[in-house]
Amino acid sequence: MVQVPFLDLNAQHESIKDQIMDAVHSVIESKNFIKGPFVTEFESSFAKYLGARHCIAVANGTDALFLALKALGIGPGDEVISVPNTFMATSEMITASGAKVVWANINSDTMQLDTESVTSLITPCTKAIIPVHLYGNIVDMEPLADIARDHGLSIINDAAQAHGALYKNQSLVAFGDITTYSFYPGKNLGAYGDAGAVVTNRDDCAIKVRMLSDHGRTEKYIHEFEGYSSRMDAIQAAILKVKLPYLEKWNEKRRAIAREYDAAFSQMENIHPMTVTPSTLPVYHLYVVQVPAPRRDALRKHLLNAGIQTGIHYPVSLPYQPAYRTKALEDRFSSVQQQANSLLSLPIFPEMTDKQLQSVIEAVKSFPLS
Ligand SMILES: *Cc1c(COP(=O)(O)O)cnc(C)c1O
């Protein structure tokens, strides 16, 4: 039986091991562990890759969101619109900034922010929108940018799952004030620990984020304001710099796998792959299908018995989380939770072999879905 893990960090490491070890070794030899040339080099190469003016390397993707909100001056009394089907970090950092989380609807086919639902949620307190480019699919940015412009709102892209994704042939950085990335090990571009980045074309935001991430400093012992300690360490930066040149190839491999899955499932009933937003180039951080509950759980078990690991992103939507749950939220977002109950993420990673891919397809096809 072919074993299919959900992702295979070991296979990826093996393919670039010598370069990684050299990079780590250089950092240790240099003793430039915090800030310094390794971090600066990664920042400029990531900014260049995205066609952006500035990249600030930070401690993780969660901090990146927080620093973006703070740099835009968002705080108590403000409201920020985002989506209810994202990872906890997005809403958590809105709350941490002092602002109130407001959840919009999601498009049930693309599983992304339904931009049409945003306008009716705008109040005099609304300051920003955080579109989350979930699963490596892309939010329809042009209508959203129009809404933001008409109402004087900022846009922060949560691109933690969308490294290298394009909207109308441009990186997401072109469609918002600030774009944030996570380099959590399992992301499309993953570090060997925690790491994140804030990317922007706005000079004012770049200066603010860099100072906020480093105790509000302009010089070593001069603090313009109180900030935080959130820097990417040099070992992670050196590793990411080694991995960045492979990202395009890895994303292309993810798209090739997704095409095969799409083709295999297109004639099947009761399994609906995520629809890609028109005019975008997705990067398939995850390959998500909807299978009506309760067949979803039975299929998941069937796959596990066939040696295939799967995931659910995410099993409990934010309005149903113990941290937020109220009767009113549960009523308003019942369809979002219903969709969560039907989600299944199939294995997709650049090192996936054709044998592994075919074994997933066969296992899904051999399962009665109705
Ligand atoms: C991973 C992720 C984050 C948080 O990133 P960390 O680096 O783990 O802090 C934020 N938002 C989304 C959508 C994510 O997937």
CB-ligand 1 contact for 230 (6 Å cutoff): no
pLDDT at 87: 97
pLDDT at 370: 77
Mean pLDDT within 54-72 = 98
CB-ligand 1 contact for 310 (6 Å cutoff): no
pLDDT at 43: 98
Mean pLDDT within 86-111 = 98
- Ligand 1 centre to CA of 354 (Å) is 29
Q: Examine the pLDDT at 19 and tell me if it is beyond 90.
A: yes
CB-ligand 1 contact for 90 (6 Å cutoff): yes
Among 63, 65, 66, 87, the mutation site with the greatest number of ligand 1 atoms within 8 A of its Cβ is: 87
CB-ligand 1 contact for 85 (6 Å cutoff): no
- Ligand 1 centre to CA of 123 (Å) is 27
- Ligand 1 centre to CA of 182 (Å) is 5
Mean pLDDT within 352-356 = 98
CB-ligand 1 contact for 191 (6 Å cutoff): no
- Ligand 1 centre to CA of 35 (Å) is 22
3-state secondary structure the chain: CCCECCCCHHHHHHHHHHHHHHHHHHHHHHCCCECCHHHHHHHHHHHHHHCCCEEEEECCHHHHHHHHHHHCCCCCCCEEEECCCCCHHHHHHHHHHCCEEEECCECCCCCCECHHHCHHHCCCCEEEECCECHHHCCCCHHHHHHHHHHHCCEEEEECCCCCCCEECCEEHHHHCCEEEEECCCCCCCCCCCCCEEEEECCHHHHHHHHHHCECCEEECCEECCCCCECCCEHHHHHHHHHHHHHHHHHHHHHHHHHHHHHHHHCCCCCCEECCCCCCEECCCCCEEEECCCCHHHHHHHHHHHCCECCECCCCCCHHHCCCCCCHHHHHHCHHHHHHHCCEEEECCCCCCCHHHHHHHHHHHHCCCCC
Q: Percent of the chain at pLDDT above 70?
A: 100
- Ligand 1 centre to CA of 180 (Å) is 9
pLDDT at 110: 97
State which ligand 1 atom lies nearest to the alpha carbon of 187: 1
Q: Examine the pLDDT at 315 and tell me if it is beyond 90.
A: yes
Among 94, 161, 284, the mutation site with the greatest number of ligand 1 atoms within 8 A of its Cβ is: 161
Q: Examine the pLDDT at 364 and tell me if it is beyond 90.
A: yes
| Mean pLDDT, the chain, integer | 97
pLDDT at 301: 97
Q: Examine the pLDDT at 113 and tell me if it is beyond 90.
A: yes
CB-ligand 1 contact for 205 (6 Å cutoff): no
76-97 pLDDT, tens per residue?
Answer: 999 999 999 999 999 999 999 9
State which ligand 1 atom lies nearest to the alpha carbon of 196: 7
pLDDT at 219: 87
204-257 pLDDT, tens per residue?
Answer: 999 999 999 999 998 889 999 999 999 999 999 999 999 999 999 999 999 999
Mean pLDDT within 103-130 = 97
pLDDT band at 314 (very low <50, low <70, confident <90, very high): very high
pLDDT at 169: 97
